[in-house]
Structure 1
């Protein structure tokens, strides 16, 4: 009888302390819950930037510059001339009335329209720069998905310098007024002849060609072409279009080429350079 009583007392005591197990489990779960909530609330900046860029690429909107580009090269304005005036750009609506169209169909139409715009850009640039084309200082070449605007350095720079001449500003402004109306990506490529250069600013032709391309990019940006669409590339002396053994050949090789691409993923290799527009269309 006494033994049974002792067993019942033991069971009652154990039952009174069993709530501690449930309480410990609850505290553990609560801790795990807050750990999970904290982990979810932590923002991965890299993934956030990728998501933001993807949404920007999918949904069209007015381009905006997050931070100013790095200036390489300076702009020379003739003494007594007024500062460069940047015209106000028309606002671009980010919402189109045809939003009910499926995304895939819209993408195909946009891509086709961008490629088709190369013909329009070619005609407008030819009209705007016809005097320089007649003097053989500007050449136009067009492929299936790209357009080249080759500008001889006599129009843009003095020898051994990446500073834009005052006379180059109006011509580049004409180009900018055309290009800023279209979404096409733009590559600005700088080239030199094989005459060595070694200065504190330009240790070699690599730096000179890159600085010249960047100077053109910066001025186009000032005149309203979105910097997000542009790239500056320097090839130095290693991509000549004429023999460097003659003065005329070296003059041809000193150039800046604006490559307007038909779509974001278009590519134009230097080996695929075409004949001047009007003498036959080049193919990629």
Structure 2
């Protein structure tokens, strides 16, 4: 019995030797690929090695080019698929804009609110006089219904929403707000809460922020310009920005 055990233990070196030979083969394959400038062969070697190593996650293999620089061989995205996705996103935001425009026009508030598509997404700008009293952050009693209607439209899509408070550059200092930054922050926060509590927008899809007086859309040298700057922007982010925002909540 003892001799049989010793025989079995003596043959275990074959397993280690086989592993060594396999690793040695992979090493020489990599060295060969690094010395060859043919990118197609890089891809073939990378695919073979990833398959041999059991990489089921599509991880990229890094190989040197001529020993001077490194490139990552990774799957190439299909341009047509990307184009279709981009077009679908554009159409979705355009449809939402049309809904908002129709609501603003039907309710006679186009002079106090507007919707425009920017690179970052759809921006609905609401004048402060429509939903706030001068220098205040509490919503007017009749303003919540307007926000609820807009919120219902926002719930037809799943894009991330950012509420931005903005002011003019006229200084403010009261017992409630020490500066424009505080006023803009409180206004954005109250609009956000209304959309969550009254329009049932999921809290994970929405955030508020203050721009203070530092994101003007018009010159503050005239009253009309200052009035344009006193606003709350409801920003429905394009999906490429929505994914960035939503990942921060995970």
Deviant stretches of 4+, over 4 Å: 107-115, 131-135
Match of 1:10 in 2: none
1:261 to 197, 215, 237: 237
1:203 and 1:115 map into 2 onto residues whose CA distance is 40
Unmatched segments (≥5 aa) in structure 1: 1-103, 268-284
**Does residue 225 of the first structure (1) align with residue 201 of the second (2)?**
yes
Q: Distance in 2 between matches of 1:132 and 1:242?
A: 26
Task: Report if aligned partners of 1:184, 1:229 keep a CA contact under 8 Å in 2.
Answer: yes
Question: 216, 224, 230: which one pairs with 1:248?
Answer: 224
SS at match of 2:195: helix
- Indicate how the Cα distance of structure 1 residues 131 and 248 shifts in structure 2: closer, same or farther if over 3 A, else same: farther
Cα distance change, pair 118–169 in 1 and its aligned pair in 2 (3 A): same
Query: Relative to 1, partners in 2 of residues 1:249 and 1:265: Cα closer, same or farther, differing over 3 Å?
Result: closer
Q: TM-score, normalised by structure 2?
A: 0.59
Count of aligned residue pairs for this structure pair: 163
Contact 2:159-2:242 within 8 A present in 1 as well: no
After superposition, the C-alpha distances for 1:12-48 in whole angstroms (9 at most, x for unaligned) are: xxxxxxxxxxxxxxxxxxxxxxxxxxxxxxxxxxxxx
- Which of 151, 156, 163 is the equivalent residue of 2:131? 156
Give the alignment's TM-score, normalised by structure 1: 0.52
Distance, in Å, in 2 between the alignment partners of 1:164 and 1:251 is 18
**What is the alpha-carbon distance in structure 2 between the residues aligned to residue 117 and residue 217 of structure 1?**
22
In the other structure, the counterpart of 1:181 is 156
CA displacement 1:146-173 (0-9 Å, x = unmatched)? 1111110011101111100012111101
Q: Which has the higher contact order (CA 8 A, sep 6+)?
A: 1
Q: Does residue 136 of structure 1 match 2:108? A: no
1:158 to 1:217, Cα distance in 2 relative to 1, 3 A: same
User: Are residue 234 (structure 1) and residue 226 (structure 2) matched?
Assistant: no
RMSD value, Cα:
2.5
In structure 2, which of residues 101, 105, 109 is the aligned counterpart of residue 126 of structure 1? 101
Unmatched segments (≥5 aa) in structure 2:
1-76, 244-250
